[in-house]
Amino acid sequence: MRTPQEPSPTFLLTGRRALVTGAGSGIGRAIAVAYAAAGADLVLLSERDNLDEVAEAVRAHGATATCVRFDLADVAGRAGFVEALLDEHEVDVLVNNAGVIRRAPSETFPDHDWYDVIEVNTHAAFHLARAAGRRMLARDGGKIINIASVLSFQGGVFVPSYAASKHAIAGLTRALANEWAGRGVNVNAIAPGYVETAVTEGLREDRERRAEITARIPAGRWATPQDIVGPAVFLASAAADYVHGHILVVDGGWLCR
């Protein structure tokens, strides 16, 4: 008899390979390790030299880990890099997790902060989804999971480029699902609320702002990256074969408030 800790075969990822962007820390790292625990092999992508520890954690589960370093903000080199990467590594699951954020009042928001965020959060995600999706369609199957945000539904404060980029991710998820759902490729998104990662470090250091945010979360706490892994495994697995174009909110009830 299967013990309660063992995943149902429906949620296993045995025999699959997943590409996770922004895999060196936070949500990306947690998802990568969870996929390895569920049986998947990993291609780990980061702009920084921070993949050794997550690769070790992946391999501890008996999975393979291929580490790739590339800055997705590199507009000139990105298209060629993406094509070469996916030619070399056939992936069954793509997790578009890499993202950046800039904060400033909108009336003084710098152009370069606008373009930097949109470039990584939106343009790079589309380029990866397009290239991976094309290959998945040729093989009659695959899963694409975009990391959206509660700011896919709200405007936020002092983060106009981030909010715009995450609204775009929600729209992209639905648009690709409309085209690809009937052709074997599932495109969905996860929309985390406030998560304790490097992206929210500035907010968490502001004691007053952190208290205000925490008070608004019905669950009474911020998420950790581990709170995101269950939904990520679900959407990558056979359990979600009939789930298309869905944005799964994981926010402790934030949007209910």
Transcribe 143-167 into DSSP letters.
EEEEE--GGGTS--SS-HHHHHHHH
Helix axes 125-138, 160-180, angle to 10 degrees: 10
Q: If 0-12 CB within 10 Å is exposed, 13-18 middle and 19+ buried, where does residue 121 land? A: buried
Task: Please tell me the pTM assigned to this model.
Answer: 0.95
Q: List, by residue number, the catalytic residues.
A: 162
pLDDT tens digits along 89-123: 999 999 999 999 999 999 999 999 999 999 999 99
Residue 5 has what pLDDT?
Answer: 55
Given a cut of 80, whether residue 257 has pLDDT beyond it is: yes
Q: What is the mean pLDDT of residues 27-52?
A: 97
Other Cβ atoms within 10 Å of 86 Cβ, number: 19
| Domain 11-250 falls under CATH 3.30.70.3040 | no
User: How many whole angstroms separate alpha carbon 131 and alpha carbon 148?
Assistant: 19
Residue 6 has what pLDDT?
Answer: 64
The sheet carrying 247-250 orders its strands as: 65-69, 41-46, 17-21, 93-96, 142-147, 185-192, 247-250
Q: Where are the domains of the chain?
A: 11-250
pLDDT tens digits along 197-208: 988 888 888 899
pLDDT bracket for residue 4 (50, 70, 90):
very low
